[in-house]
Amino acid sequence: MLVALAITAAGCVGGPATTPPISPGSSASPRDVNIIAKDYSFLPPEVDLVPGETVMLHVINGGLDVHEVVIGDPAVQDAWETAEAAAANPPPGPTPLVTVPAGIAGVRIVVESGQRVDLLWTVPADPGALLIGCHIPGHWAKGMQASIRFVEPNGAGVPALPSTQP
């Protein structure tokens, strides 16, 4: 007796971009994560991170303007947006020191045009919803935002991941 099993393996072509398996970084061997800031966007527009891993962030400013990477939840993004807007167009002299209340700072990396700044960072094990933003006055409004996608080390947890792995 023959049973025809109609297993369709099609339907995966042309789907969303896939995330290859990630080897999570550790403090002994952090994973390199590149974020390129441009005038006025981030590459990539979505950064994949594994909760709890340790990464070496490489923030490269490929634009002409000064940029920053602020990693934090929406409250952190709002705090920096407000703090930096208040310091816009300062009088001549030293750049004013911009701060936000303790405990809400998140991660902030400021990078001059053409420079690269590295930062070792351990992703929270229970990170919640984190965003990446630049709050140099006007930049957030121009679209300098990127999202963070939390993935399992094997790339699972990503919607519509084709089952092409052996």
Residues of the shown chain interacting with Cu ion in the complex, contacts defined by CB under 5 A: 67, 134, 136, 139, 144
Do the bridges between strand 145-150 and strand 54-61 make them parallel or antiparallel, or are there none, so unpaired? unpaired
Tell me whether residue 15 or residue 143 sits nearer to Cu ion (CB atom): 143
Tell me whether residue 15 or residue 114 sits nearer to Cu ion (CB atom): 114
Residues 6+ apart with CB under 8 A from 119: 56, 57, 59, 107, 109
Tell me whether residue 76 or residue 136 sits nearer to Cu ion (CB atom): 136
Structure tokens at 132: 């990446």
* Cβ at position 134, least distance to Cu ion in Å: 3
Tell me whether residue 100 or residue 136 sits nearer to Cu ion (CB atom): 136
* Cβ at position 8, least distance to Cu ion in Å: 46
Tell me whether residue 42 or residue 121 sits nearer to Cu ion (CB atom): 42
* Cβ at position 80, least distance to Cu ion in Å: 11
Residue 37 has φ and ψ, to the nearest 5°, of -95, 135
CA–CA separation, 151 vs 91, rounded Å?
Answer: 45
* Cβ at position 72, least distance to Cu ion in Å: 15
CA–CA separation, 24 vs 33, rounded Å?
Answer: 11
| 3-state class percentages of the chain: helix first, strand second, coil last, to nearest 5 | 10, 30, 60
* Cβ at position 84, least distance to Cu ion in Å: 10
CA–CA separation, 88 vs 83, rounded Å?
Answer: 9
Give the SS3 label for residue 142. Answer: coil
